[in-house]
């Protein structure tokens, strides 16, 4: 895996990006553009990120897309950008276009009932404040709890939701700080494949993400673009690069902006 220091001064790379007929910068949010916090509704971007991304979005020749596990409308308010961005939310299950069009998923009765049952089970465990309901998904967050309490809750939710997943055809996923039930096919790789298809094979496409939920996107981009792990600690990954946030992340975004200019 290349470290940022290895490519910071790779002029051939940046020249190639600048000369590419199309460019797409795909950005995860939590853990990538914004640090994790106990209250997920207060997870604002690192200082400087909003300004640099806004400049990039204002320049011609580069498409910026946000891909997140959050619902589209949830992320829209946290980003607070001067123009409406393109967002793929709920792990690629829904899509918000810059013109305001929101494409929502159609769920089968079995999946709808399964998600409702999972939500009810978790509420019976007094998890109300730690639940996140979104199109095609329901998540339980354990961040901020002490390790024994988080481990106990995780075990209980996992047992309850595993049965729900089996009965309703949903998939149970673990992410950094929680568990999530999702409709099959809802993953970030779905969004990346569509974006690459829309941009064409000659486009320079980069995806920045931090969590195991971003691995589907990394895998989808292999051989068709550049997956970048934004994380302080290295881990097994499909990504070819690693940036340490927030410093190296800001440097990368600034260099992308300069390549456009």
Q: How much of the chain, in percent, has pLDDT values that exceed 70?
A: 100
Q: What is the mean pLDDT of residues 10-20?
A: 91
* Mean of all residue pLDDT scores within the chain: 94
Which residues lie below 8 Å from residue 251, measured CB to CB, with a gap of 6+? 4, 8
Q: Strands 131-134, 137-141: parallel, antiparallel or unpaired by DSSP? A: antiparallel
pLDDT recorded at residue 81: 97
Of 261 and 52, the structure prediction assigns the larger pLDDT to: 52
**At 144, is the pLDDT very low, low, confident or very high (cuts 50, 70, 90)?**
confident
**pLDDT-derived band at 126, boundaries 50, 70, 90:** confident
**How much is the pTM?**
0.92
Domains and CATH numbers, the chain: 2-105+186-260 (3.40.50.1000), 109-182 (3.30.70)
Region 45-70 average pLDDT: 96
What band does 226 get if pLDDT is binned at 50, 70 and 90? very high
Of the two residues 128 and 97, the one the predictor is more confident about is 97
Task: Give the Cα separation of 120 and 124 in Å (integer).
Answer: 6
pLDDT (0 to 100) of residue 80: 95
Q: Write out the two tokens for 205.
A: 């496409």
Q: How confident is the model at residue 117 (pLDDT cuts 50, 70, 90)?
A: very high
Whether 238 has a pLDDT exceeding 90, the answer reads yes
Q: Each residue of 24-56: pLDDT tens digit?
A: 999 999 999 999 988 889 999 999 999 999 999
Lowest mean pLDDT among 82-91, 140-149, 212-221, 223-232: 140-149
9 pLDDT above the threshold of 90: no
User: Which parts of 20-105 fold into alpha helices (H)?
Assistant: 49-58, 72-79
The pLDDT, as a whole number, for residue 176 is: 86
Alpha-carbon distance of 187 to 166, in angstroms, equals 19
């Amino acid at each position: 895996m290349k470290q940022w220091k290895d490519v910071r001064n790779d002029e051939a790379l940046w020249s190639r990006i600048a000369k590419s007929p199309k460019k797409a910068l795909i950005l995860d949010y939590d853990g990538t553009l914004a640090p994790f916090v106990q209250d997920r509704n207060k997870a604002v971007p690192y200082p400087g990120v909003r300004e640099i991304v806004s400049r990039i979005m204002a320049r011609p020749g580069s498409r910026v897309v946000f891909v997140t596990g959050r619902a589209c409308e949830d992320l829209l308010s946290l980003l607070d950008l001067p123009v409406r961005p393109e967002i793929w939310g709920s792990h690629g299950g829904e899509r918000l276009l810059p013109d305001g069009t929101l494409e929502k998923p159609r769920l089968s009765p079995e999946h709808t009932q399964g998600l409702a049952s999972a939500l009810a089970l978790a509420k019976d465990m007094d998890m109300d404040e730690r639940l996140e309901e979104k199109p095609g998904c329901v998540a339980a967050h354990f961040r901020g709890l002490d390790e024994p309490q988080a481990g106990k809750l995780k075990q209980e939710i996992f047992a309850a939701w595993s049965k729900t997943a089996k009965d309703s055809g949903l998939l149970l996923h673990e992410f950094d700080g929680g568990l999530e039930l999702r409709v099959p096919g809802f993953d970030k790789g779905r969004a990346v494949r569509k974006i690459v298809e829309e941009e064409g094979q000659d486009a320079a496409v980069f995806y920045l993400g931090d969590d195991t939920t971003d691995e589907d996107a990394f895998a989808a981009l292999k051989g068709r673009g550049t997956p970048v792990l934004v994380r302080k600690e290295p881990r097994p990954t499909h990504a070819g690069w690693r940036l340490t946030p927030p410093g190296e992340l800001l440097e990368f975004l600034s260099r992308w902006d300069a390549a456009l200019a």
